[in-house]
Amino acid sequence: MRTFCHIITDGMLDYLVAIYELSEDTDRISTSVLAQKMKVSPAAASSMTKRLTESGHVERSARTGICLTDQGRLAALQLLRRHRLLEVFLIDVMGFTWDQVKAEAMRLEHAISAEFEKRMEILCNFPTHCPHGDPIPSQDGRVLSEELVCLAELQPGQSGVLRRVANHNAPMLRYLSQLNLVPGYYVKVLNVEPFDGPSIVQIQNDVTQAGAENVVLRATVGSDLVKIIGRSLAKRIFVKLAEQPAT
């Protein structure tokens, strides 16, 4: 099967990934939203969208906005696969921390070969998720689906495994590391303050409770911790709910 490297240019691929990521959060992607995501002018985003439409990777209309075609989605997922494998490799082999790997992976993702990608995956023991909890797509564009709930929606008494952090902002990731809020740990909501207030959560250090197989673990804690998590931050943290005991 032909890979994305034989399909389009690096710049076009970056746009496809941006469109894919935006599509996970919004039903309609406009040129202005895409331009903001890519940190370019609306005119530049419009020009690239036209190129992607002509190449068959994007469709656009006044009603639906900018959408990926099947070919465009596959190309985006193939690059995301390489990027997320690189993030795991940079931590497991190179010793980077999870707040450093996004920038490094972006520098490398267009440079390495398909053979390098294959050996990297073997060396890292075929990981299924990146360090931030995002699933690593297969070569043919399949993505593991998992039902997750953001921490901000959990009510007192609910608990589960922290699976994913939706924002890769480096200062925020460093802060989460200080709180020991990383994928693979078990969290329980003790209380939620009223009027859109913060959540008070317990972070447990026994990862065997969490069913944390296939999740990249990045921190150790000496005992259970209780932390206050603001609403804005809680909306970026996603949990797989534990089964509640029958009453």
Cβ density class 87-99: b for 16+ within 10 Å, e for less: bbbbbbeeebebb
Please check the confidence at residue 1 and state whether its pLDDT lies above 60. Answer: no
Q: Which of 78, 61, 145 is nearest to 118 (CA)?
A: 78
Q: Would you state the pLDDT for residue 63?
A: 86
Taking only the tens place, the pLDDT of each residue in 178-235 is 888 899 899 999 999 998 899 999 998 655 443 444 343 333 334 578 999 999 999 9
| CATH code of the domain covering residue 217 | 2.30.30.90
State both tokens at 134.
């995002």
DSSP string, 90-110: HHHTT---TTTHHHHHHHHTT
- Cβ-based burial of 75 (10 A; exposed 0-12, middle 13-18, buried ≥19): buried
Contact of 216 with 127, CB cutoff 8 Å: yes
State both tokens at 126.
């075929």
Please check the confidence at residue 83 and state whether its pLDDT lies above 60. Answer: yes
The answer to the question of residue 111 being in a domain is no
| CATH code of the domain covering residue 65 | 1.10.10.10
The answer to the question of residue 212 being in a domain is yes
Map tokens 């795991």 to a residue: 88
The answer to the question of residue 45 being in a domain is yes
Taking only the tens place, the pLDDT of each residue in 121-171 is 999 999 999 999 999 999 888 998 889 999 999 999 999 999 999 988 899
Domain count, the chain: 2
Q: Would you state the pLDDT for residue 207?
A: 52
Question: What mean pLDDT, rounded, does the chain reach?
Answer: 87
The answer to the question of residue 118 being in a domain is no
The answer to the question of residue 89 being in a domain is no
DSSP string, 173-219: HHHHHHHT--TT-EEEEEEE-TTT-PEEEEEES-GGGGT-TT-----
Taking only the tens place, the pLDDT of each residue in 62-77 is 888 999 999 999 999 9
- Structural domain of residue 43, as residue ranges? 4-72
The answer to the question of residue 170 being in a domain is yes
User: Last residue of some domain: 72, 101, 125?
Assistant: 72
Contact of 137 with 143, CB cutoff 8 Å: yes
User: Last residue of some domain: 49, 72, 95?
Assistant: 72
Map tokens 């709180």 to a residue: 179
State both tokens at 146.
């998992």
The answer to the question of residue 22 being in a domain is yes
Q: Would you state the pLDDT for residue 4?
A: 57
What is the CB neighbour count within 10 angstroms for residue 20? Answer: 18
Q: Would you state the pLDDT for residue 237?
A: 94
For 144, the 3-state DSSP assignment is coil
User: Last residue of some domain: 72, 92, 123?
Assistant: 72
Map tokens 């994305």 to a residue: 4
The answer to the question of residue 126 being in a domain is no
